[in-house]
Amino acid sequence: MNTLAYIIYLLITYLITVRVGLVFYRNGRLFILDLLKNDVTLTDAINRILLVGYYLVNLGYAALMISTWDTILSWTALLSSITVMTGKIVLTLAIMHYFNMLVIYLISKRNKSILHP
């Protein structure tokens, strides 16, 4: 049953990670563009690097979560395990997002204070 749980979990994780990553990639470009004073080339390069890093962190986290799974013996345990593991990865994504937004806010605040003393 563990193999079925892994497949379902990885499918859900993949869909969430790719969807959220693309939303961050599209919408985050504007924030980075503003921070870099409309330097399009540098913004696009940084945005792509952030997307790749985001994917790598999430794939690594998903692999680590699979390694911590106990043996699943029933359908109830299967559903419970998938739910808990999916919840953990969604919470991790949320924490990463809010941390990144805080960093962007602090950088933009610093840039504005330097430009307008």
Instruction: Give the position of tokens 């913004």.
Output: 43
Q: Compute the chain's Rg from CA coordinates.
A: 18
Q: What tens digit of pLDDT does each residue of 3-50 get?
A: 999 999 999 999 998 998 999 899 988 888 888 888 899 889 989 998
How many structural domains are present in the chain?
A: 1
pLDDT for 107 equals: 78
Q: Which two tokens stand for residue 52?
A: 């790749």
Average pLDDT, rounded, for the chain: 87
H-state helical runs in 1-116? 2-35, 40-67, 75-115
Find the domain containing 23 and state its range.
Answer: 2-115
Residues constituting the chain: 117
pLDDT one-digit tens code per residue, 51-102: 999 899 888 988 888 888 888 999 999 999 999 999 988 998 889 888 888 8
Higher pLDDT among residues 104 and 62, named by residue: 62
User: How far is the C-alpha of 109 from the C-alpha of 24, rounded, in Å?
Assistant: 21
Cβ burial of 57 (10 Å; 0-12, 13-18, 19+) is middle
User: Can you give the pLDDT at residue 101?
Assistant: 80
Q: What is the predicted pLDDT for the residue at 114?
A: 64
Indicate the residue type of 95: I
pLDDT at 117: 59
Which pLDDT score is estimated for 34? 82
